[in-house]
Amino acid sequence: MDGLIVQKHSVSAGDVRGMQHVWRRIKRAVDAGHRVVAVISAMGQDTDRLVALAIRIKGGMPKPAARELDMLMASGEAITAPLVAIGLQGLGVPAVAFSGPQAGIRTNAVHGNAEITAVHPDRVVRALQEGRVAVVAGFQGATDDQDVTTLGRAGGDTTAVRLAAALGVAVCEIYVAYRGIRTADPYVVPEARVLSHLSYDEALELAATGLHMPQPRAVEIAQQYRIGIHLRPARDDAGDGTRIVEVLPDQERRPVSAIAHQHGLGRVRVAYVPNQPGGAADILEPLGGLGISVEVVNHAGPGDLSFMVRESDLDRALQAVEPAARALGSAATSASDLVKVSAVGAGMVGESGLGVAARMFRTLADAGINIETIASSDIRITCVIKRAGHERAVRALHSAFGLDHP
């Protein structure tokens, strides 16, 4: 369908000014000759009250039933979407609101975190053909049984991306409360710039790092369906945002796209793990059962094994591995106040990766910063360092990889 765009907006039912902003955004696109599908996400506070009521009334159950909870959770978008449609109609823009099920969003029955299995947007297409804006409640769908489901985190983004794919639109616009994805945290690096383009892979690597970013799940789905994501600032004066695409344009290629960092980490180290099958598994297995997620695992056996956890999980993680460590005739120790600093860039793949790693280590050495642990993927190099001086490290790396200037 020509001139069709899919936009995703977040708004709270009670926020009339925010609503007005969304209508104007949509109207501008309509006035420019576009046909528009607007996916609406509600802000959490609308459903928080209902969830609190459910918890009060659930009595002896450990938690309210997921199926009924989904009916409550879905009411957030079920209320904001018709309000947005009514507002558009008030501005003279023909609009029609659809719930997730009406928009043809079919999901599996995993309530609270359902996955979209199919999209049949017949009614959306019909509305567009009639010259109307289709306002779709994001974050929700229905099973084949017409049970209402919610899509979990990033549910609204996922709805928008899947609708774009089903409607044959190449790019999905996601309006966000920030300017775009930056080369570093601007609180640490005042020179940090908004990236005009980023690859899916880079976005996924950066997602775990605290930079403003859509949820990884939405990025994965965009990558799977080859839908570009255009993160656009909701504020008019905040620039053009960031496009997340498969391949960066030539002029945007660089070995490193961003320096990310994350603090609040701790490390557990087991002094000796023998080089035999199951050694690492014995150590790490108890952590999964406790819901503790583990990263940057280092083990070049036979020898020591170390891994990182969130600082808040550190004591529990240490206790959990101690029995296994003792059984191996070893001991476990922990360290806190660590920071993970990562250089991420699709351009480091292959030969240039070695150069990037060398430059990263050299830069940190020149800044007098000791590296505790190193981990890497194809497009990321991560160094774990002490918290003291980590901001200096981030600034030095930002500068060394030429990110201070466009």
Partner 1 sequence: VRQRGGRRSEPAAPAPGGDRPGLKVQKYGVSVGDIAGMRRVCRRIKSAVDGGWRVVAAIAALGQDTDRLVERAIRMKGAMARPSPRELDMLMASGGEGSTAPLVAIGLQGIGVPAMAFTGLQAGIETNAVHGSAEITCVRPDRVLLALERGSVAVVAGFQGATADLDVTTLGRYGGDATAVWLAAALRADVCEIYTNVPGILTADRHVVPEATVLRHISYEEAMELGSAGLPASQPRAVEIAEKFAVPMHFRPVATLDAGTMVVGHVPEHERMAVCAVAHQDRVAKVRVAGVPNRPGAGADLFEPLRQHGISVDAIAHIAEGDLTIMVHEPDLERIIGVIEPAATWLGASVTHDCDLAKISVVGKGMQGRAGVAARMFRTLADVGVNIDSIATSEIRITCIVRRNRHEQAVRALHAAFGLGRTAG
Q: Which of 29, 36, 38, 81 binds partner 1 (CB under 8 A)?
A: 81
Residue 341 C-alpha from the chain's centroid: 18
Rule CB under 8 A: which of 160-179 touch partner 1? none
Residue 316 binding partner 1, by CB under 8 A: no
Q: With respect to partner 1, which residue has the nearer C-beta, 87 or 233? A: 87
84-92, 275-283, 367-375, 387-395 -> range binding partner 1 (CB under 8 A)? 84-92
Strand partners, 107: 116
Residue 300 binding partner 1, by CB under 8 A: no
Edge-first strand listing for the sheet containing 332-344: 295-299, 303-310, 258-273, 332-344, 380-386, 371-377
Q: Which of 6, 38, 96, 383 binds partner 1 (CB under 8 A)?
A: 96
Question: Distance between CA 126 and CA 121 in Å, rounded?
Answer: 9
Strand partners, 343: 259, 381
Q: What letter does residue 210 receive in the DSSP assignment?
A: T
Q: With respect to partner 1, which residue has the nearer C-beta, 146 or 251? A: 146
Q: Which of 29, 37, 97, 128 binds partner 1 (CB under 8 A)?
A: 97
Residue 69 binding partner 1, by CB under 8 A: yes
Is the CB of residue 287 less than 8 Å from the CB of residue 320? yes
Residue 233 binding partner 1, by CB under 8 A: no
Instruction: Give the pair of three-digit tokens for residue 51.
Output: 């969830």
DSSP string, 89-118: HHTT--EEEE-TTTTTEEE-S-TTS--EEE
Residue 74 binding partner 1, by CB under 8 A: yes
Q: Which of 89, 113, 196, 399 binds partner 1 (CB under 8 A)?
A: 89
Strand 4-11 with 171-176, pairing = parallel
Instruction: Give the pair of three-digit tokens for residue 242.
Output: 């960031």
Q: With respect to partner 1, which residue has the nearer C-beta, 87 or 345? A: 87
Query: What phi and psi values does residue 87 have, to the nearest 5 degrees?
Result: -65, -40
Q: Which of 100, 101, 156, 228 binds partner 1 (CB under 8 A)?
A: 101
Give contact residues for partner 1 (rule: CB under 8 A). Answer: 13-14, 16, 19, 50, 53-54, 56-61, 64-65, 67-69, 71-72, 74-75, 78-79, 81-83, 85-87, 89-92, 96-97, 99, 101-102, 123, 145-148
